[in-house]
Structures are given as C-alpha cells and as structure tokens.
Amino acid sequence: MGFEISSVQAWEVLDSRGRPTLAVTVGLADGTVAEAGVPSGASTGTREAVELRDGDPARFGGAGVSRAVANVNGELHDGLSGRTWADLAEVDQAMRDLDGTPNKARLGANAIIGTSMALARALAAAAGSPLYEWLPGTGAPRRLPVPCFNVLNGGAHAPNPLDFQEFMVCPLGAPSMREAVRAGAEVYQALRKRLVAGGHATGLGDEGGFAPNLAEPEEVLELIVAAIGDAGYAAGRDGVGIALDPAASEFWSDGGYTVNGVRLSSADLVARYAGMLDRFPIWSIEDGLGEQDPDGWQQLTAELGDRVQLVGDDNFCTNPAIITAAIADGIANAALIKVNQIGTVTETLEAMRICHAAGYGQMVSHRSGETPDTFIADLAVATGCGQIKTGAPARGERVAKYNRLVQIEAQRPGLPYGLGG
C-alpha cells in the first residue's frame, strides 16, 4: 500500500552553535505532518555528502542555508508531491536522482536528509507506530544503546590546547537506560568538581563537555578515572568505561601527527594508544588515525583491534561503498553512523546493515551543531546497534536525545539495554 506526499517545506533555523541549519516538514495526503531538524558537523570527513551553504559573506558569514531551503521548497516539493510512492527507499532514491551528483552537492545533503528524516517520521506516525518500531532494522534485535557522554572537549570542538577532540564516559555495566543516564550525569558533575578544585575553568565546548586548559590526553584520562570513582562507580567494562575520539585527521599534516607540539609517526601514535590501554579503562577509540592514513589504520587495527573497539568516522562517512571497501582492507572494527554524512535515511540503514553483516560495531552519533531533534535516539534503538554518542549530559539539544531514550525505556520496559552481541 503506497502513500502520497502533499507538501514538503523548509525554513532556516539556528543550530546549537548559532549557525544556520534547516527545519523540514513533510505532509502526507492523509493529513499527517512531521518535522525534522538537520544536524551539522565541525570536524568533517572529506568524502561526506555536501552540506549546501550560501557563501554570501553578508549573511551569517557565508554560512546561510537559504539555497538549501529554496531547493526543498522548490525542486523537492515539486518532484515529490502529488504522486504515489511505495516506500521511503523509493523517495530517497528519487531525491538522489533529482540531485544528480554522487555527493548530493547540487540540492544539498542538508536539504535531502531533512526531507528523508521528516518523511520517515510522517510514515511512522501515519502507521500509528513509534519511529523506533517503524524504522527497518539491520538484523539485530531492538535494544536500548549504551550512551557515550562527552564530558571533556578539545580539538575542533573547544578553544583549548587539547588536540584530542572528545573524552567520553560510557556506563557499560549499568542495569538500565535510566541508570546509565544517571551515571553519566553523576560522573559529569564529579568531574566538574575535580576541575574546579584543580583551578581549571569549566566552560563548555560545542558538545557540552568541559573545555579546561589542559593539553595532555593522559592527564585528562587520569581526571576522568578519578571522577568515575568520586561518583561512586567502578571504572571499566563492568561499570563506567571510557571512549576516545581523538579526531586524528585534525592534527595530521605533512605525513605525520602533532600532539601537544610533539611530532608522531603513525607507529608512534599507535604505540601511545597501546600505552593508554595499559593504563586506563578505554574500550573504544574513534578516528585514532587520520582518514589520510590508510596504512596506519591497517597497523592500528592489526595491533589493537583485538583489545579495543576501533571506530571509523572521517574515513567511513557512513557511506556503504566506502565501508565495504574498508572492511575488505581490514580497517577498523566499527563505524560511526551520522545520518547527514551520507544524506538519506535509507543509505544510513544500508551502511549499518553492511556493518552488522561483517561483525562491525555501529555507534550512532550526533554532530557538533545540533537541534533538539531526537531522530538518532530512535534510530539507535531500531537498529539494535547498542551504542550512541550525543554529547554531554548538559545542553538541551544533547539532553533531548538521552531523555528520548529514557522515554522509550519507560514506554517499552521489556527492551534490553547494553552493547548486545
């Protein structure tokens, strides 16, 4: 049984960094209307689908999205409205065909993903189903994911000398979603107290984590382990583990890496991670090497892949073809999943299915520029991926996703929590 789209509309709104993004609504012929807010990244891979910006320095310093808005209200509305469609995948493919480029550069991935997300919501509502039940899965049973709370920021997300971008706490051993969110919030507050006691500033980075004037990753890890203990939790896989996102592409140049002024080869950085694994309860490292360094990634995976989750982000870009090639090349053992990196819900789900079939983990992710939209919370539950990162347990646009997960748990008390198999 098909459906008809009656309207597609977008307008320019602000994201959590004060930069423009899109809100999109899709209306169905049966009267159902649903909305989506489009995320935007600061630390981005070179092969991501293209976010269309205006480039007019007189508006938002060139970052306006009025062209993307016009494409939704014009070509996408005209091309999608007034005909019968079989499913979301058919509409997503039609938008790719209308765009006509391999990376959605003409209409804008921000225009297309907003429309795709809003349509998915509308179809779920029309079916009388929560989004997490309506979205097709990947073969894994639905479950509530372990939340990875970004408690301390550096890199492109904070104005401090810390090169590593994200330090996260993950309540792997929590008995429920509710208790996991509690643990994340309590560790976050304990870390704040430690920072204040040490004379450090507690201003926030883009994703709500603290941004103190620290430069050495190991010093940060020591503080976080202490804060986990201060909050009354055990540090490790049975309690609260630590995940890193160094975002190494951001400190790669001239064939090597620079961390706090020290030049490192790929092998040097791999050895440094090995030392961190020996000292700290780290269970996941995302973008440990740059997207420019595939040979280094193979070395990282060969040497540490049996000890820690290694997540590809900048080098994977939620792109099914790129992920398929990386799996064949023995790069990483998990993928970060960002809907706006690839630009449609259908392609996002395909990327996750490929990972699941290959035994690769999947961590659903927000972006540094967010709205209160909670789509990714439902996506993580629907696909049973078992892990999500969406910033600190602070700032409304971050907390909205965690609160949505708590709501889902309350509405579906039988859903399991945790990483799963």
Active site residues: 207, 338
Q: How far is CA 277 from the centre of its chain?
A: 23
Q: Is 388 exposed, middle or buried (0-12, 13-18, 19+ CB in 10 A)?
A: buried
Cβ of 274: how many Cβ atoms within 10 Å?
Answer: 14
Q: Are 178 and 235 in contact (CB under 8 A)?
A: no
Tokens at 275, concatenated: 């030392």
- State whether residue 365 is helix, strand or coil: strand
Tokens at 136, concatenated: 């097709």
CA distances from 395 to 12, 149, 411 (A): 21, 12, 24
Letter string b/e over residues 205-234, b meaning 16 or more CB atoms within 10 A of that residue's CB: bbbbbbbbebbebeebbebbbebbeebebe
Rounded to the nearest 5°, which phi and psi values hold at 224?
Answer: -70, -45
Tokens at 259, concatenated: 């961390």
* Spatial distance between the Cα atoms of 28 and 289, rounded to a whole number of angstroms: 45
Q: Are 61 and 74 in contact (CB under 8 A)?
A: no
Cβ of 293: how many Cβ atoms within 10 Å?
Answer: 22
- State whether residue 13 is helix, strand or coil: strand
Compute the 3-state secondary structure of the chain and give helix, strand, coil in percent, each to the nearest 5: 40, 20, 40
* Spatial distance between the Cα atoms of 376 and 365, rounded to a whole number of angstroms: 7
Q: Are 216 and 260 in contact (CB under 8 A)?
A: yes
